[in-house]
Structure 1
Amino acid sequence: MSFLKRQIEMHNPPHPGELLKQDILPTLDLTVSEFAEHLGVSRSHLSKILNGHGGITAEMDLKLSEALSQPPGLWLRMQVNYDLWLAGKAPRTPVKPLPLVA
């Protein structure tokens, strides 16, 4: 079994918006609108992320990292893990490996 296949089958990572919505937002005692204003984004943009309909971009990662005093890249890595898991679950045609040239 390939490494990618094992990773895909081993876990079901949450969408980072789910973590923001369920774990972070309640501890901040802010509404979605207040949090969006603090981050400098629209309420609808943040709402899409919180509901799993939008992804974390590099810019959003930096905003969240600054606002939540976390290291840059944390939210983006969560998004990449989630995206890779989804992609690995979707049917696709395998690609043959190319021979390595020395």
Structure 2
Amino acid sequence: MPIQIVPAIHPGEILREEYLLPLNMSAGALARKLRVPRTRIERLIKETHPITSDTALRLAKFFDTTPQYWLQMQMTYDLAQDGPALASEIEQIEVLAA
């Protein structure tokens, strides 16, 4: 049986689908609660911008999670996106000799 690779999920999709939609909360309403510009949340849930440490801290407080929860999702997404694009360049780097 072949291994199925699950595509990386942008943290904005998780925020939108797992938090905002079940709460019937708009990006603007969340932005007001977090005390950030509405556009920050809109761009995040449209998956055009990453979660920053500032946003992770605010989301963690509001949703009673941890900043690491949000930043780990972002890091996993970034690595999945950047890894294939940089693979040939990374392959050319020599390992430091012991």
5+ unaligned residues in a row in structure 2: which ranges? none
**Structure 1: unaligned runs, 5 residues or longer:** 1-8
Alignment partner of 1:30 out of 17, 25, 32:
25
Shift of 1:76: 0.3
Q: Kindly indicate which of the two structures has a greater share of residues assigned to helix.
A: 2
Distance, in Å, in 1 between the alignment partners of 2:47 and 2:26 is 17
- SS of the equivalent of 1:48 reads helix
Count matched residues. 93
Per-residue CA deviation, residues 11-47 of structure 1 (Å, 9 max, x unaligned), is 3121000111112101223211111111111111111
- Structure of greater relative contact order (alpha carbons < 8 Å, 6+ residues apart): 1
Matched-pair identity in %: 27
CA RMSD of aligned residues (A): 1.7
**TM-score w.r.t. length of structure 1:** 0.81
DSSP-derived class of the 1:10 partner: coil
